Structure 1
Amino acid sequence: MIASLAPRAFSVFERNLFVYQRQWLIIVTGFFEPLFFLLGIGYGVGGVIGTIPYGGADVPYAAFVAPALLASAAMNGAIFDSTFNIFYKLKYGKVYDAILSTPVGVGDLAVGELLWSNLRGVIYATAFLIVMLALGLVASPLALLTPLAVIFIGFSFGAAGFAITTHMRSWKDFDFLFIVLTPLFLFSATFYPVEIYPGALRWIVELSPLTRGTHLVRSLCFGDLNWLMLVDIAYLSAISFIGYRHAVRRLGVLLLK
């Protein structure tokens, strides 16, 4: 079963690869948002703040913020591809109706789309890591493992975005997506440690998938290996599985009537 699933899923992934050969500028532009945040806040605000405590030491503010921006780059790359693009294919382009007339099933379709959305997130994260290395914002060679770590971030947000998209009825529904993503970006230990939040609010922030992704990436960038990284991976993997299963079920309802 796995041997037959992989080629069909890859054919969906390969289709996206061919399509984006003519639209590569769309992917490139997605890299600049976290870079502008790094320059404007990491260095701009960081010039006022100076250092911030992390792992028992004072670290440059830009070095603290950069791993979180890398994680958010992976989030944005995955979730925007698995929402806007998939919604168009599902509701307007009728691309999936054509694909499902081939031996490709809804499970293959979901896996192929998630592989592509995850690749987009990994591309953003890898490009941003190169910038971090060039600016001297990496404290450990373990940072070279971050492209592997962001795979968990990409799959979790990609699967969640895919599942949510199957419930959207019009482009106006995407306003709700931004209502969720903006607080996630601002309050997921991106610009300050999670410890500053009081009481129950801290535990709410800890449950943010971007908080877990940020912790995973930041730990690698600073060489701070800890058991909580396993919790990060397990949590993000659980979101990926639940989102994938729900997306497959909803695609079956919408496309196989």
Structure 2
Amino acid sequence: MPEFKDQLGQVFTFEKAPSRIVSLVPSQTEMLYDLGLEEQLVGITKFCVHPFHLKSTKKIVGGTKKVHVEKIRLLQPDIIICNKEENTPEIVASLRGIAPVWVTEIVTLEDSLEMISQLGMLFNRRTEARKWIDKINHAKQDFDRFVKDVPIRKAAYFIWKNPWMAVGSDNFINEMLSTNRFANIYSDKGRYPEVHIQKIRIQGDPEIVFLSSEPYPFNEQDAFEVGRCTHHAKVVFVDGEMFSWYGTRLVKAFAYFRQLQERIS
């Protein structure tokens, strides 16, 4: 019986490829669809918005931090796909009595490519996985050539208000900031630090401040509030999916990053 290992090192054995999948991570739901597994997907979260039609054709089993365990149980899944950051240890533990729970851990681009490869093997979609990995690598190489002469600029990336929370280190968004040649002023403050924007000048004085479209709905007043605490920083609203969604979304993300660089240059 073939063995498979997830990114936490857990070993799984399956007699055949799982054919009933519950996905509790939006970016991974999109990736599974792109690997040709739409028919096998039986349950998704309310945040799984790509592709849009899945919300009307698949069972919604809750969010990423709070799931309806009984709804998942009734779907009789062969496997449940989670992520170490997106889903809590309590959720993972509560689901292990229903089906094997595969957990991904994504911090770097390499982690994302490994995940695509692993799930391609698990679901007998090796060819499709290889095509997407090649597309992402090509897009990344093209973008690297585009930004190689762009100067490194200090930046802050906010994801929440009340309290203000920024992106720190050891997460995928910080990896994408680095890829864009942005030096994160909060990279030494933990993963998602609470910060006082009134101290932003002494904490790094960024040239650019990003306000993400998710999970908090920032508005123009928020941009004004944080902007006046800086030393003439440019405040930019950005598509949070492009910075935080891993998997096949990366092909679109690198095209978006190119447009963003042109916008702020």
Asked if Structure 1 and Structure 2 have the same fold, meaning a TM-score greater than 0.5 normalized by the shorter chain, the answer is no
Larger relative contact order (C-alpha < 8 A, sep ≥ 6)?
1
TM range (shorter): under 0.3
Identify, as 1 or 2, the structure richer in helix: 1
Q: If each structure's strand is expressed as a fraction of its own residues, which one has the higher value?
A: 2
